């Protein structure tokens, strides 16, 4: 089983690379951003709670995203593994994920971080906003705020995985295929 945390700021290419990874390795993609957007669209109670925070580029409370991930992992017990995308974003989420994994007798194989600088991220997200229609991708101040939230609240999660020797950093600027090849090399090393 391969369970990978795809780590990196918004706009680093996690969504693009996740698609390629799940196809090649037959894993289940768990993106908390996608799950939250589905809740907002369906106008569920959870969606209503998350909507405001998401539209401001702020993190939604840990217990909400942890609960969503727990449900998905529990309802996919036969999975070959999971790609966690956009989760964990805080140390509390990383700890909750480790607890969830050990309760299910599985573990995180490793974390792959896509490194992209702030200027490139802002450019990419605003470009994506033209196609995605995502409100939080369209306003420059908001986009910069999301990147800031990442560096302040989420970047420390890298140390959590470095301490466990489960952290690989990959340059996220370049050809999609070249980046994917590097990710595959890392994933293939987990099995050996
Ligand atoms: P993303 O699609 O990953 O960029 O997420 C979009 C928005 O959803 C973020 O700006 C947050 O408001 C919220 N979100 C997604 N994942 C998480 C998470 N793991 N923890 C807290 N908030 C999250």
Considering the entire predicted model, what is its pTM? 0.96
Alpha-carbon gap, residue 136 to 55, rounded angstroms = 6
42 CA to centre of ligand 1 in angstroms: 17
The answer to whether the CB of 150 falls within 8 A of the CB of 90 is no
Q: Is the dihedral of CA 46, 49, 54, 59 positive or negative?
A: negative
Strand segments, DSSP code E, in 89-155 are 110-115
59 CA to centre of ligand 1 in angstroms: 6
The answer to whether the CB of 60 falls within 8 A of the CB of 36 is yes
| CB-defined site of ligand 1, < 6 Å | 10, 32-33, 36, 53-54, 57-60, 65, 86-87, 89, 93, 136, 146
Q: What is the CATH number of domain 2-190?
A: 3.40.50.300
175 CA to centre of ligand 1 in angstroms: 25
Which of 20, 37, 134, 166 is the catalytic position? 134
Q: Does 37 participate in catalysis according to the annotation? A: no
Where the chain has pLDDT below 50, the residues are none
What's residue 134's pLDDT? Answer: 87
Q: Does 89 participate in catalysis according to the annotation? A: yes
Helix axes 91-103, 62-74, angle to 10 degrees: 20
32 CA to centre of ligand 1 in angstroms: 6
What's residue 182's pLDDT? Answer: 98
Alpha-carbon gap, residue 88 to 65, rounded angstroms = 9
What's residue 192's pLDDT? Answer: 52
What's residue 174's pLDDT? Answer: 96
Q: Does 128 participate in catalysis according to the annotation? A: yes
What's residue 53's pLDDT? Answer: 95
Alpha-carbon gap, residue 152 to 154, rounded angstroms = 6
Alpha-carbon gap, residue 156 to 19, rounded angstroms = 26
What's residue 143's pLDDT? Answer: 92
Which of 128, 144, 152, 166 is the catalytic position? 128
Residue located nearest, by CA, to atom 14 of ligand 1: 33
DSSP 136: G
What's residue 191's pLDDT? Answer: 74
């Amino acid at each position: 089983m391969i369970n990978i945390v795809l780590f990196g700021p918004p706009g680093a290419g996690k969504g693009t690379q996740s698609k390629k990874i799940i196809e090649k390795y037959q894993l289940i993609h768990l993106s908390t951003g996608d799950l939250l957007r589905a809740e907002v669209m369906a106008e569920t109670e959870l969606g209503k709670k998350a909507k405001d925070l998401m539209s401001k580029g702020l993190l939604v409370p840990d217990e909400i995203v942890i609960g969503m991930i727990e449900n998905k992992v529990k309802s996919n017990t036969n999975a070959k593994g999971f790609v966690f995308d956009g989760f964990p974003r805080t140390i509390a989420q990383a700890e909750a994920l480790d607890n969830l994994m050990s309760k299910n007798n599985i573990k995180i194989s490793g974390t792959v971080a896509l490194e992209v600088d702030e200027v490139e991220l802002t450019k990419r997200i605003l470009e994506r906003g033209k196609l995605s229609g995502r409100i939080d991708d369209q306003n420059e101040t908001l986009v910069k705020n999301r990147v800031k939230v990442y560096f302040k609240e989420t970047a420390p999660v890298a140390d959590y995985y470095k301490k466990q020797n489960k952290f690989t950093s990959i340059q996220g600027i370049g050809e999609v295929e070249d980046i994917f090849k590097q990710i595959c090399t890392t994933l293939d090393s987990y099995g050996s």
